[in-house]
Structures are given as structure tokens and as C-alpha cells.
């Protein structure tokens, strides 16, 4: 049992728990400047529609009332900028990411878009925010890269206000057999080749594909959210189960 607790998945490989974060950091350091371009290429632009579903669910108010949003692992600012466009002048957005290169991209984009978004270097497993600070916490395609998912869920729950909502957009398990077979061929053959051509780092995208396959099925992840304290937990499959939007409340 001790060995199981001391190891975690890095794609299909077992690595010491203490090593995963550094290895993930290396992956995203290598692709930070082309990360959103690759998202467009890999998903055929569908990631934009998936993130729009997340932003609609977050539902920041259009008025002047204060509404605090935390986006975890959103360093490039893609989700934060969408939230800022959706919300009104009272919407306050904080982005927390452990990777400095991704944060540098986000700060640059937010500056060019003239959006007042705060970017903080922080580990999802130990957020430097007080308890009950945010109305909504989001994370898009980032939870599977956390070494201790249970710890990250507990932290998301801790920083939510009572009545606040947690939204997690993540790749999931395709529930249509024919689509699943096609998706496997695409994922393991096309995506690493795209990564090599666009970023020069095929191995980074090999890891990303493998990490998707190792991520818990939505029913299991929903139970992990309940164990972290979330209530009214639910999930919605998108695009045949390629992606799922998970939702939970701090009550």
C-alpha cells in the first residue's frame, strides 16, 4: 500500500509522486507559446465550444455586483478572457497556474485585450487564497495533470464561498464504440505528429494523450468530488463523451 501512495501516473508510466509535478512543468514549458494553437488543431476548434459551455455554466453577472472567479491551471488566460467578456464590471478574475511560462503568455494576452485579470503562480494542491473567497472556481483540461487530484479538489472546495460552484472541464471516456476506436487512432497517431510539426515536441503530446486515457471515468471522478465535500455533483458528456463538464457546489 505504501508504494501505491508514493507513485502516480505520468501518462502510462508510473513515477514517484514527488516527480510528477516537475515532469508536467517540463511538458508545458516546452509548448507554452503554441499551446492554444495546438488546442485548435487537435480539436478542430471544438475546444472553443467546450469552453463556451463552461463559461455559460459559470454565468458571471453582467452588472456591477462583485463576483469573484478563480480559474485554476488557466495560465494562458484563454478561459479567463472568455469569463471577462461574459461578465460585467463587478466580475473579478484570478488565474492560478504553477507554470511561469504559461502565466507569461496569459499576462501578455490579458494586457493586449485590456482586461484586468490577476495572474498568480500557485499550486492547485495548496492555493494561497483564504477560505471562502470565490463565487465560482473553474479548471479546464488541467485537473488530470495534478499529482494529487484529491488535494486539488479539497482546495477548490476550501476557497469557494458557501453556495459557490466548482466547474471542471476535462477529457473523458468516449461512450460510442465506433467513435472510441476512431478517437484512439487519431489520438495516438495524429496528435503526437501534430505536436512534432507545430511545437517540435511530440513527446509532450504523447504524454497528454496518455494522461487523457488514464484519467478516471466521469462516474469515478464525480465520487472523488463528493469525497472532497462537493454536493449536488453532476456531469454532462459533450461530443459523444470526448469531454465532460463536471459540476459541484459547496453547500
**Averaged pLDDT, 35-47:** 75
The predicted model scores a pTM of: 0.84
Mean pLDDT of 53-63: 96
- Which residues, 6 or more positions from 183, have their beta carbon under 8 angstroms from its beta carbon? 174, 242
Residue 1 has pLDDT above 60, yes or no: no
- Structurally, how many domains does the chain consist of? 1
Query: Which domain, by its residues, includes 218?
Result: 34-173+214-249
CATH label of the domain that carries residue 65: 3.40.50.150
Q: Averaged over 18-46, what is the pLDDT?
A: 66
Tell me, yes or no, whether 88 lies in a domain.
Answer: yes
Report yes or no on 49 lying in a domain.
yes
Q: What is the pLDDT of residues 188-209, one digit of tens each?
A: 777 777 767 766 766 777 777 7
Is 134 within the bounds of a domain?
A: yes
- Give the Cβ contact number of residue 48 at 10 Å: 14
Q: Which of 8-17, 25-34, 151-160, 235-244 has the lowest mean pLDDT?
A: 8-17
How many CB atoms are located within 10 Å of the residue 34 CB?
A: 16
Residue 146 lies in a domain: yes
Residue 188 lies in a domain: no
In a domain, 209, yes or no: no
- Mean pLDDT over 226-248 rounds to 96
Q: How many alpha carbons fall within 13 Å on the CB side of residue 202?
A: 9
27, part of any domain = no
In the predicted structure, residue 17 carries a pLDDT above the cut 70: no
Q: Is residue 119 in some structural domain?
A: yes
- C-alpha angle 168/199/85, rounded to 5°? 40
Distance, CA of 104 to chain centre: 17
CA–CA separation, 39 and 155 (whole Å): 27
Range scoring the smallest mean pLDDT among 8-17, 39-48, 70-79, 123-132 = 8-17
DSSP 213: H
Amino acid at each position: 500500500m505504501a508504494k501505491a501512495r508514493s507513485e502516480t501516473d505520468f501518462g502510462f508510466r508510473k513515477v514517484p509522486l514527488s516527480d510528477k509535478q516537475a515532469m508536467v512543468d517540463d511538458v508545458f514549458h516546452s509548448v507554452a507559446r503554441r499551446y492554444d494553437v495546438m488546442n485548435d488543431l487537435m480539436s478542430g476548434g471544438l475546444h472553443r465550444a467546450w469552453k463556451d459551455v463552461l463559461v455559460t455554466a459559470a454565468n458571471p453577472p453582467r452588472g456591477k455586483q462583485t463576483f469573484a472567479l478563480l480559474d485554476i491551471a488557466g495560465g494562458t488566460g484563454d478561459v479567463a478572457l472568455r469569463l471577462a467578456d461574459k461578465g460585467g464590471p463587478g466580475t473579478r478574475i484570478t488565474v492560478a497556474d504553477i507554470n511561469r511560462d504559461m502565466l507569461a503568455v496569459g499576462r501578455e494576452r490579458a494586457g493586449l485585450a485590456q482586461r484586468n485579470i490577476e495572474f498568480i503562480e500557485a499550486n492547485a494542491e495548496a492555493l494561497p487564497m483564504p477560505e471562502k473567497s470565490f463565487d465560482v472556481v473553474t479548471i479546464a483540461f488541467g485537473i488530470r495533470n495534478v499529482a494529487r487530484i484529491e488535494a486539488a479538489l479539497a482546495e477548490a472546495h476550501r476557497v469557494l464561498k458557501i453556495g459557490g460552484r466548482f466547474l471542471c472541464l476535462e477529457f473523458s471516456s468516449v461512450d460510442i464504440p465506433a467513435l472510441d476506436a476512431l478517437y484512439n487512432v487519431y489520438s495516438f497517431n495524429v496528435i503526437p505528429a501534430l505536436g512534432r510539426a507545430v511545437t517540435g515536441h511530440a513527446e509532450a503530446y504523447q504524454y497528454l494523450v496518455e494522461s487523457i486515457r488514464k484519467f478516471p471515468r466521469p462516474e469515478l471522478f464525480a465520487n472523488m468530488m463528493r469525497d472532497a465535500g462537493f454536493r449536488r455533483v453532476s456531469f454532462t458528456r459533450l461530443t459523444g463523451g470526448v469531454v465532460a463538464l463536471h459540476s459541484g457546489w459547496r453547500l
